[in-house]
């Protein structure tokens, strides 16, 4: 197979019109955990001329390898999850009304009135809610449980939908000046980043790209992907909440924002699933400082990425995570900054270009 | 023995940051193991003995990490907000003193809550004596452990991180005393137990044992109005675990441990722990599954800066572990 894109190897990747177009395609696709088909097809098409080896494993992960050149190449796994949070149809009622359950971490207070796309055909529906005309003041104070909500597809469309079908939010991708607005930026930003890094893989490493499934339901795809790839080290590339909104009381400093927009890629020091190897944290932070790339530490706390599954695989894999900050994660529409994404890509590319066996020589240390 | 325990409990090593405590262990076992290595997650693995026909590859795991805190934010006035590493109760934090990995010290303060109300971690902060953000010597991501000197009360000993340094001391001493063994024993001083039994998970995969034992502390049921009730007590001997909420010990192994303790005339008690887990789970669940058990040391006030154990229990735990590792392991 000829590799048409060989000339780009090692060059610094950028976020331009074609990258944004790819991200748009990825975000508008629906790939709720367990049915990642649509995004997987896009990924396979994008990387078929770039990767030296591509395979789809039993859980549906896309595992792509791009080999470097020379001796003592470190095998670096990059993981970005293809799946997104969403819904599953559980029961059909008359007139195209459907009971549904949540897939992954969805806040039920966010749901009434949202447009959704059901099934691989993207059948348009809406999560119905009693209109304000009919509700009492008391009702408006209470949240509506998922068990009381229905997806309304109408009679004819509804005939073609069945229990087990997935549904995702129907928000369309938009570029808003310096920002992006879309559903599923978590983690299509990571998927798009991995595709670019595969295209521009530095030569001194073997790049093992895992486009994983079922992250949102418990890091399941990454677990088997890491076992199969058996890398020397790993980086999970994801998106993380930026709750950087001003407090209404200006005397009260917002000390729990997780990350901030416009502050660059967020490097993890600890989440619920992983305490990253500090050698890798330092590798990223020092690369950012030396290259003049903005970068922030994600506030340690809850949450988890594919690194949580990867680092515990086999006899242990030094791992770290890097996320693009996004506002309103796990809702119908998130906001990200193009610059944060571009800087994440730059940081990862620069850092990968600096990987040597010496990075992991010796013992895990501060 | 007490001096080893003191050294171990007074060395900071929150989960993920076990390098200093690992060095203390390495020095303590120097010259007593056939091979010492460190795995990717930082667990120190010391091999001793050659497997004979009656022998097995045995993993003994005591975790060397402790609960601790990590900095999340420094405010404009230099107060340090933090999150927990492992199971930290806000109840034991206020007024506590902490030491960062670089030696910086601080105290834990609280404000903004009603008197008498149970605080949340977000109500607490560390004051390192800074006057502003600019002169605060710590930064986001820095890690600290509680600081509390070792207290020798004679028969009883008190310290922070008795969980699980007392078990690490037991494992160190057992490794040193173990002379003739039919087994290839891998003493694992594991990391990141307090955040989800992570170090033992990768160590167990790497060691690939035929059988394994965790060594850990367990709750003691002998304090006033203990709730929930538990049959363990300080001074009643090492506890042979039947189950906890992370794993059910292999019943064949439990029976054999009990028989072995009785034959050797070592006091023991049986342990059923309703909430809590140990490295035993990681051993049991690795690869195709491994028979696993656990030797526990009863401990009062677990996860507080003043955890109390009994000296005789410690000595008897060492004896039990040595006896267990000195003879063929019978599973029937």
pLDDT of residue B111: 87
CA distance B146 to A301: 19
pLDDT of residue A9: 57
Residues A188 and A128 occupy one common structural domain: no
B151: tokens are 């207290």
Which residues lie below 8 Å from residue B159, measured CB to CB, with a gap of 6+? B5, B6, B9, B10, B148, B149, B150, B151, B165, B306, B307
What residue spans define the domains of chain B?
Answer: 2-66+160-326, 68-146
CA distance B261 to B252: 14
Is B40's CB within 8 Å of A317's CB? yes
In a domain, A105, yes or no: yes
Bridge partners (DSSP) of residue A347 are none
CB contact residues (below 8 A), chain B span 236-275, against chain A: none
Query: What pTM value is reported for the model?
Result: 0.95
Nearest-Å Rg of the Cα atoms of chain A is: 21
Q: Which residue of A has its CA nearest to B123?
A: A255
CB of A7 less than 8 A from some CB of B: no
CB contact residues (below 8 A), chain B span 285-314, against chain A: none
**Distances in whole angstroms, Cα of residue B196 to Cα of each of A275, A298, B200, B280:** 11, 21, 9, 12
Is A299's CB within 8 Å of B85's CB? no
Beta strands in chain B, from DSSP E residues, in sequence order: 35-38, 44-48, 57-63, 68-74, 80-85, 97-100, 105-110, 124-127, 143-146, 151-153, 156-159, 184-190, 211-219, 239-243, 269-272, 292-299, 307-310
Q: Provide, as residue numbers in chain B, all residues whose Cβ is less than 8 Å from the Cβ of A300.
A: 70-72, 83, 140-141
Mark which of A119, A140, A169 sits at the end of a domain. A169
- Local structure of A70: helix, strand or coil: coil
- Local structure of A347: helix, strand or coil: helix
CB contact residues (below 8 A), chain A span 148-187, against chain B: none
Facing residue for A300 by CB, picked from B19, B72, B203: B72
Active site residues of A: 215
Residues A151 and A299 occupy one common structural domain: no
Facing residue for B39 by CB, picked from A269, A299, A315: A315
Is A315's CB within 8 Å of B140's CB? no
- Local structure of A103: helix, strand or coil: strand
| CATH number belonging to the domain at B2-66+160-326, selected among 3.40.630.10, 3.55.40.20, 3.40.50.300, 2.40.50.180 | 3.40.630.10
Is A253's CB within 8 Å of B76's CB? yes
Facing residue for B19 by CB, picked from A300, A313, A363: A363
Mark which of A169, A197, A214 sits at the end of a domain. A169
Helix intervals (H) in A292-353: 307-310, 338-353
Single out the catalytic residue among B193, B194, B271, B307. B193
pLDDT (average), residues B314-331: 97
CB of B42 less than 8 A from some CB of A: yes
- Number of C-beta neighbours around residue B125 at 10 A: 25
Distance from CA of A327 to the nearest CA of B (A): 19
Is A366's CB within 8 Å of B17's CB? yes
The per-residue pLDDT string of chain A (366 residues; one tens digit each, 9 = 90 and over) reads: 444 444 455 678 899 999 999 999 999 999 999 999 999 999 999 999 999 999 999 999 999 999 999 899 999 999 999 999 999 999 999 999 999 999 999 999 999 999 999 999 999 999 998 889 999 999 999 999 999 999 999 999 999 999 999 999 999 999 999 999 999 999 999 999 999 999 999 999 999 999 999 999 999 999 999 999 999 999 999 999 999 987 666 667 888 999 999 999 999 999 999 999 999 999 999 999 999 999 999 999 999 999 999 999 999 999 999 999 999 999 999 999 999 999 999 999 999 999 999 999 999 986
Q: Provide, as residue numbers in chain B, all residues whose Cβ is less than 8 Å from the Cβ of A243.
A: none
In a domain, A327, yes or no: yes
Q: Provide, as residue numbers in chain B, all residues whose Cβ is less than 8 Å from the Cβ of A364.
A: 19, 38, 40-42
Is A314's CB within 8 Å of B195's CB? no
Angle between helices A338-353 and A278-291 (to 10 degrees): 110
* CATH classification of the domain holding A125: 2.40.30.40
Residues A65 and A153 occupy one common structural domain: no
The overall average pLDDT reported for chain B is 96
**Which fold would CATH assign to domain B68-146?**
Elongation Factor Tu (Ef-tu); domain 3 (2.40.30)
Report the phi/psi class of residue A312: left, alpha or beta, with left for phi > 0 and alpha for psi in -120 to 50.
alpha
Count of positions (residues) in chain A = 366
Domain around A97: 86-169
Please say whether the dihedral angle defined by the alpha carbons of residues A220, A364, A302 and A328, taken in this order, is positive or negative: negative
B223: tokens are 């304090």
Angle between helices A185-199 and A338-353 (to 10 degrees): 40
Facing residue for B40 by CB, picked from A281, A299, A364: A364
Residues A91 and A75 occupy one common structural domain: no
Q: Which residue of B has its CA nearest to A281?
A: B141
In a domain, A366, yes or no: no
Q: Provide, as residue numbers in chain A, all residues whose Cβ is less than 8 Å from the Cβ of B38.
A: 363-364
**Distances in whole angstroms, Cα of residue B167 to Cα of each of A155, B38, B64, B298, B308:** 66, 19, 9, 11, 13
Give backbone dihedrals phi and psi of A68, rounded to 5 degrees, phi first.
-90, -160
């Amino acid at each position: 197979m000829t590799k048409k894109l060989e000339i780009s190897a090692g060059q610094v990747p950028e976020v331009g019109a074609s990258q944004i177009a790819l991200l748009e395609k990825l975000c508008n696709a629906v790939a709720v955990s367990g049915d990642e088909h649509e995004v997987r097809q896009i990924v396979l098409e994008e990387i078929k001329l770039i990767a030296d080896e591509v395979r789809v494993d039993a859980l549906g992960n896309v595992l792509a390898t791009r080999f470097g050149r020379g001796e003592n190449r470190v095998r670096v796994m990059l993981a970005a999850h293809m799946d997104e949070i969403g819904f599953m149809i559980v029961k059909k009622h008359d007139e195209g009304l459907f009971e549904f359950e949540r897939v992954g971490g969805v806040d039920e207070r966010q749901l009434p009135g949202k447009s959704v796309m059901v099934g691989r055909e993207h059948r348009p529906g809406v999560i119905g809610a009693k209109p304000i005309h009919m509700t009492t003041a008391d009702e408006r104070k209470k949240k509506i449980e998922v068990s009381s909500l229905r997806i309304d597809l109408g009679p004819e469309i509804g005939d073609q939908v069945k229990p087990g079908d997935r549904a995702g939010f129907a928000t369309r991708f938009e570029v808003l000046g310096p920002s992006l607005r879309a559903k599923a930026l978590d983690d299509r930003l990571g998927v798009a980043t991995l595709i670019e890094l595969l295209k521009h893989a530095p030569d001194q490493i073997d790049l093992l790209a895992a486009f994983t499934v079922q992250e949102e339901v418990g890091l399941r795809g990454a677990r088997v992907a890491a076992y199969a790839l058996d890398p020397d080290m790993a980086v999970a590339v994801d998106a993380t909440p930026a709750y950087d909104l001003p407090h209404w009381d200006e005397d009260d400093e917002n000390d729990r924002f997780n990350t901030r927009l416009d502050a660059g890629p967020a490097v993890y020091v600890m989440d619920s699933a992983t305490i990253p190897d500090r050698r890798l944290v330092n590798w990223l932070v020092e690369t950012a400082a030396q290259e003049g790339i903005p970068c922030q530490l994600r506030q340690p706390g809850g949450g988890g990425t594919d690194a949580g599954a990867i680092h515990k695989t086999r006899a242990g894999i030094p791992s770290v995570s890097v996320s693009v900050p996004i506002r309103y994660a796990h809702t119908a529409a998130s906001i990200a900054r193009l610059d944060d994404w571009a800087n994440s890509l730059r940081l990862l590319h620069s850092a990968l270009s600096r990987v040597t066996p010496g990075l992991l020589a010796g013992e895990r240390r501060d | 023995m007490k001096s080893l325990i003191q050294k171990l409990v007074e060395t900071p090593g929150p989960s993920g940051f076990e390098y200093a405590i690992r060095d203390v262990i390495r020095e303590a076992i120097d010259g007593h193991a056939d091979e010492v290595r460190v795995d990717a997650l930082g667990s120190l693995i010391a091999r001793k003995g050659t497997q004979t026909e009656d022998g097995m590859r045995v993993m003994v795991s005591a975790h060397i990490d402790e609960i601790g805190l990590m900095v999340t934010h420094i405010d404009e006035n230099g107060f340090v907000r933090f999150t927990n590493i492992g199971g930290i109760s806000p109840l034991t934090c206020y007024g506590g003193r902490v030491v960062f990995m670089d030696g910086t010290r601080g105290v834990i303060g609280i404000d903004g809550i009603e008197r008498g109300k149970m605080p949340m971690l977000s109500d607490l902060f560390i004051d390192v004596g800074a006057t502003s953000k600019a002169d605060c010597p710590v930064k986001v991501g820095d890690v600290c452990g509680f600081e509390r000197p070792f207290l020798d009360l004679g028969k009883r000993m008190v310290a922070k991180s008795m969980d699980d340094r007392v078990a690490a001391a037991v494992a160190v001493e057992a490794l040193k005393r173990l002379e003739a063994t039919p087994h290839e024993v891998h003493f694992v001083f594991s990391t990141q137990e307090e955040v989800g039994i992570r170090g033992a998970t990768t160590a167990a995969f790497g060691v690939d044992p035929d059988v394994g034992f965790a060594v850990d502390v367990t709750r003691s049921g002998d304090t006033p109005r203990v709730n929930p009730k538990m049959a363990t007590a300080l001074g009643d001997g090492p506890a042979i675990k039947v189950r906890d909420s992370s794993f059910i010990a292999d019943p064949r192994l439990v029976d054999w441990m009990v028989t072995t303790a009785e034959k050797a005339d070592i006091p023991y008690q049986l342990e059923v722990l309703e909430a809590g887990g140990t490295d035993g789970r990681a051993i049991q669940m690795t690869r195709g599954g491994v028979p696993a058990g656990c030797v526990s040391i009863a401990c009062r006030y677990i996860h507080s800066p003043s955890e109390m154990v009994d000296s005789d229990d410690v000595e008897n735990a060492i004896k039990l572990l040595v006896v267990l590792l000195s003879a063929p392991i019978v599973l029937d």
